[in-house]
Amino acid sequence: MKTINFTIFLYCGIFLIPHLLQAQNCSPDSSKRYQQFDASAPNNFICQIIVERKKKRYNATASFVSANVLVGAGHSFRERSFSKIRSLIIYAGRHNENGINKWLFTKKYKRKELKTFIPKRFQKKSDPDYDYAYVALPENVTVDFFQLSQFEKLKDHTDSIFVSGYPGDKGNKELWKKGDTPQSIVNKDAVLLYSIYTYVADSGAPLWCRTENTYFIIGVHGTGHYHNESCNAAAKLTDKRILELRNFIDKNKK
């Protein structure tokens, strides 16, 4: 397959984390979202996906961190004996061309073509602190993607932190960017908490920032409540998780 010189664009489970969230003062504002109309970076790093199972299809969001590896929410890719994944559909780089919305890239992959990694603590116990997944595609589809970093290393070098996804209340096919200041992010051991508004199908969206013309992913949005009753959260990229992800990328290079 010809490599495309752009970067590619997961069902948002509604999880509450009472021991972490209820103590936070959060009031997400749904009006503070901005639709993205072009496929420039990092919009083309972020994809709308459909996870097809035996009886249902789930919309969600994911993002590229290498030429063939996506990161998304653990609950989007976790499998049970009664809920196996059959295929993954990717839609990336939505843009407006002569008044018509188009995608730069779309493709459907069978489950057997994918390599996945989900932390055991989420796979077995549904621990929301570990709600993330890595997915390797059988081919390279991009040359540009998010770089990996920790929130702690970038918070003093950026003005804004963003969550960009394909929310269900916007039809699952529109990319919406929403953000806040680094000072508003609550830093926990395994998660980053924020009052950035999200909705169903934002799950797996990257928590990202830009510094010195480089786009970094610092977390994976996985938990939230679209009725605005508590904070939202992302599994943050710690040193251990970054090493884990880089090893996964190296192991599945094409």
Reading the chain (254 residues) residue by residue, the pLDDT tens digits are 444 444 333 333 333 333 333 333 455 678 889 999 999 999 999 999 999 998 899 999 999 999 999 999 999 999 988 889 999 999 999 988 888 889 999 999 999 999 999 999 999 998 889 999 999 999 999 999 999 999 999 999 999 999 999 999 999 999 999 999 999 999 999 999 998 988 999 999 999 999 999 999 999 999 765 333 468 999 999 999 999 999 999 999 99
Q: In the chain, pLDDT over 70 holds for what percent of residues? A: 86
* CA-wise closest residue to 5 among 61, 63, 49, 44: 44
Q: Does domain 18-248 have CATH number 3.30.540.10?
A: no
pTM: 0.87
The neighbouring-strand residues paired with 208 are 162, 217
pLDDT for 148-173, tens place per residue?
Answer: 999 999 999 999 999 999 999 999 99
* CA-wise closest residue to 168 among 8, 10, 47: 10
Buried b / exposed e over 22-56, threshold 16 CB at 10 Å, is eeeebebeeeebeebeebebbbbbbbbbbbbbeee
- ∠ at Cα 47 (13, 106), nearest 5°? 125
* CA-wise closest residue to 88 among 121, 120, 61: 61
Task: Give the dihedral sign, CA 93/253/247/79.
Answer: positive
Q: Say how far residue 216 (Cα) sits from the centre of its chain.
A: 12
Q: Find where tokens 């959260």 sit.
A: 233
Tokens of 207: 């928590």
Write down how long the chain is. 254
